[in-house]
Structure 1
Amino acid sequence: MTAHPLFDVGGRRALVTGSSRGIGLALARGLAEAGCTVVLNGRDEDRLAEAAAGLPGDRVHTAAFDVTDGSSVASGVAEVEERVGPLDILVNNAGMQLRAPLLEFGESDWHRILDTNLTSAFLVGREAARRMTERGHGKIINICSLQSEVVRPGIAPYAATKGALKMLTKGMCADWGPSGVQVNGLGPGYIETELTRPLVEDEEFSSWVRRRTPAGRWGRTRDLVGGVLFLASPAADFVSGQVLYVDGGMTSVL
C-alpha cells in the first residue's frame, strides 16, 4: 500500500529554525525522511554541521543566522533561497524556556524570552512570506505549546509568548491566506528532550505529567512528526489559522 498523494511532501524545500537538537531536529529529520530538502538553522555552525551529518539523504543544508535579529534574518533567508531554492515550508521552532516566579523575573529575561519565542517567528515568518505570497503558495508552521492554552506556576512569561504565538499564527493566516499561504501551529505537550531531561528525571513532576495526561506518558519528539508532515502537505491546503495540539490529550481534561 502506498501513501495517499495528498500527504506527499517529496521534493519540497523546508527551513526549520532552532533545529540543531530537540524538537526542531526531530521535525527536520521527519521532513528529510519524507523527501524534503531541509535547511537546519541555529547560531552554532559546528552544532548545525553535526546535526546535519546525522540526517538521512544528501539534501540537508545548514544556515547559521540569528532569528531574533531582523537584518540577520533578511540576509539569512535570502541566502538560503539563493543557495537551496525557493522555500515551500517554514517551521518556526526556535524557542527557549526560563523558569522563575513573576515577582522574580527580570526585565532582561523577559525581553530575551519574547525575542526568542515570539519575535523570531514574526521576523522569519515575514521574510519567508514576502517570497511565498509572491509565488502564491507556502506553508508556515509555528511551534506553539500546550502553554498556548494553559499555564503552571513559574512559567508565566513562557506561556505569554506561546499564547501570543497562537494569535500571531491566526494573524498570519488572515494576512497571507488570500495569497495562498497556509499558516498553522503545532502545540506540543510535555515532550521528552535534552532540555526537559531534568523534569523527566524529577519523579514527582514526572508522575504528575503521567497522571495529568490521558495517554499516561511523556511525549516523544517523534510523536510530533506526523502533525508537521500533515500541516506541510497538500492535505492541509484548506487548513489555516489552527493549532494542532499533540499533547496526549492533556488540554482536553481537568
Structure 2
Amino acid sequence: MAEPTALSTPLAGRRAFVTGATQGIGLAIAQSLAGAGARLCINGPADDDALEQARREVGDDALALAADLSRPDEVEHLLARIDVTLGGIDILVLNAALQEREPWQGIGRPALDRQVEVNLAANLRLIQALTPGMMERGWGRLIAIGSIQQVREHPEMLIYAASKAALESMVRNLARQLGHRGVTCNVLAPGVIETARNRDALADAAYRDTVTSAIPLRSFGTPQDCAAAALFLASDGARYITGTTLFVDGGMHL
C-alpha cells in the first residue's frame, strides 16, 4: 500500500472538534476530516450509547467527549477536557442542534430556552474559548452547520429556524473580526438530507414527493455531501473564503 502523501492527508497535524457527531451529518464530517489526516475529537450526549461507536468509526486515535450542550456547566467541563487532551483546536465544526416541532402559538419558555441554549449560546461559548488559540497560531477554521431554514423557514420550527439565522449572523460578524488573524468563518447550510432525524417525515410518500418537487435537483442529499463541503471549507483550498454560507441543498434555497 502506498504511503499517505500531503495530497491525500491535507489536514495532517490539524486538530478538529465536531459537536453532535454520533450520527448523520456530524459523524460523516468527522470521518471526512479524519480521513484527511486531522486528529478528531467528537462530542455527543453522555447518555448516548452511540458515542463510543461513533468514535470507533471515526478512527482509532479519535477522542470522544460526552456533554449535554443544553447545560452550561457541562459545556465548561467539556472545554476543560478539550484543553487538557488536545491543547487546542484548529478546526471547530459546530454541528449539534436541537430541533423541536411545534406550532408557534404553543411555544413555551422551556422549549425556547432549550433550543437557544444548544443552537446559539453553547456555540458562542465554544467559539469564545477555542478560537483565540487559532488566532494566536495564525490559522483556524470555524464551520457552523446552519440550515435551509435560514431562508426557507418551516412553520412548525420557528425557534429552530430563528436560531440558525442568528448563528449565520454571528458567523458573518466573526468573519470580519477574525480574518486578519488567519481564521476563516463560514456556514454550511444543508437542505433536505436523508438522516435519522428526517426518516419519519420522509417515510410519508406524499410528503416526500412534495418536498422533492421543491428541490431543483429533484433529490435529497446525503451526509457525505455535507462532509465533502465541510472538508473543502476546512482545507487550504478554501483559505480565501470567509463570511459566506455554502448551501448543500440541491438548489432548494433558490
Q: TM-score, normalised by structure 2?
A: 0.91
Q: Provide, for residues 159-202 of structure 1, a one-character-per-residue CA deviation record: whole Å limited to 9, x for no partner.
A: 10111111011112122222221110100001111111011101
- The aligned length equals 250
Amino acid in structure 2 at the alignment position of 1:48: L
Q: 1:77 to 1:170 in 2, by over 3 A?
A: same
1:136 positional shift: 2.1
Q: Paired residue for 2:105, among 93, 103, 112?
A: 103
Contact 2:89 2:130 in 1 (8 A): yes
User: Is the 1:67–1:123 contact (alpha carbons within 8 Å) kept by the matching residues of 2?
Assistant: no
**Aligned residue number for residue 236 of structure 2:** 234
Q: 1:219 aligns with which of 218, 221, 231?
A: 221
Q: 1:138 to 1:78 in 2, by over 3 A?
A: farther
Aligned to 1:42: 44
Gaps spanning 5+ residues in structure 1: where? none
CA drift at 1:36: 1.3
Q: Which position in structure 2 is the counterpart of 1:18?
A: 20
Q: Superposition pairs for residues 191-202 of structure 1, below 5 Å? A: 191-202=193-204
Task: Report percent identity of matched pairs.
Answer: 35
Give the drift of 1:33.
Answer: 1.6
1:52 aligns with 2:55: yes
- TM (norm. structure 1) is 0.91
Provide the rounded CA distance (Å) in 2 between the counterparts of 1:17 and 1:171.
21
Tell me how far 1:101 sits from its aligned partner: 1.1
Distance 1:178 1:31 in 2: 25
CA distance in 2, matches of 1:116, 1:243: 20
**Structural mapping, 1:143-154, within 5 Å:** 143-154=145-156
Matching residue within 64, 69, 80 for 1:78 = 80
Offset at 1:219?
A: 1.1
Shift of 1:31: 1.1
- 2:8–2:36 CA contact under 8 A, matched in 1: no
Query: Structure 2 unaligned runs (5+)?
Result: none
1:3 shift after superposition = 9.2
Secondary structure class of the residue paired with 1:54: helix
Superposed CA deviations along residues 14-73 of structure 1, whole A, max 9, x for unmatched, are 000011122111111111122211111122264311211223x42211112233444533
